[in-house]
Amino acid sequence: MRLLTVIIIGLVLVLQYRIWFGQHGMQDFRELQSDVARQEAANESLEQRNQLIAADIDDLRNALEAVEERARNELGLVRPEETFFRLISIEEQEPDA
């Protein structure tokens, strides 16, 4: 009986060693947990970016003012009855050589 108890205790200790220190043990588990946390943070930032893009798309589909604003800012749209003035500050002018 004593020999069986020693064998069982030894087997439990060997299995515990594999759980805590062996391959696919607790160290790998902690590394995977940190990888999952990092990926969740990346997914959260991408989700926020996707929400902003979706709101921008919805705004462009439903509001003509948003389309006109984007055309004015990005493409330089000027209506036929408007006159375009470009104001240059003194700091932006190149010095005469």
Q: Is residue 88 part of a domain?
A: no
What mean pLDDT comes out for the span 81-91? 81
Summarised one tens digit per residue, pLDDT across range 20-60 is 777 777 888 899 999 999 999 999 999 999 999 999 888 88
What is the tally of structural domains in the chain? 1
- Asked whether residue 62 is domain-assigned, the answer is yes
pLDDT for the residue numbered 66: 82
Within a domain: 23: yes
Q: Does residue 94 sit within a domain?
A: no
Give the whole-number percent of the chain exceeding pLDDT 70: 94
- Structural domain boundaries, residue 28: 2-78
pLDDT of residue 97 exceeding 60, the answer is no
* pLDDT surpasses 80 at 92: no
Residue 10 lies in a domain: yes
Of 10, 11, 30, nearest to 20 by C-alpha is: 30
Q: How far apart are CA 46 and CA 52, in angstroms?
A: 10
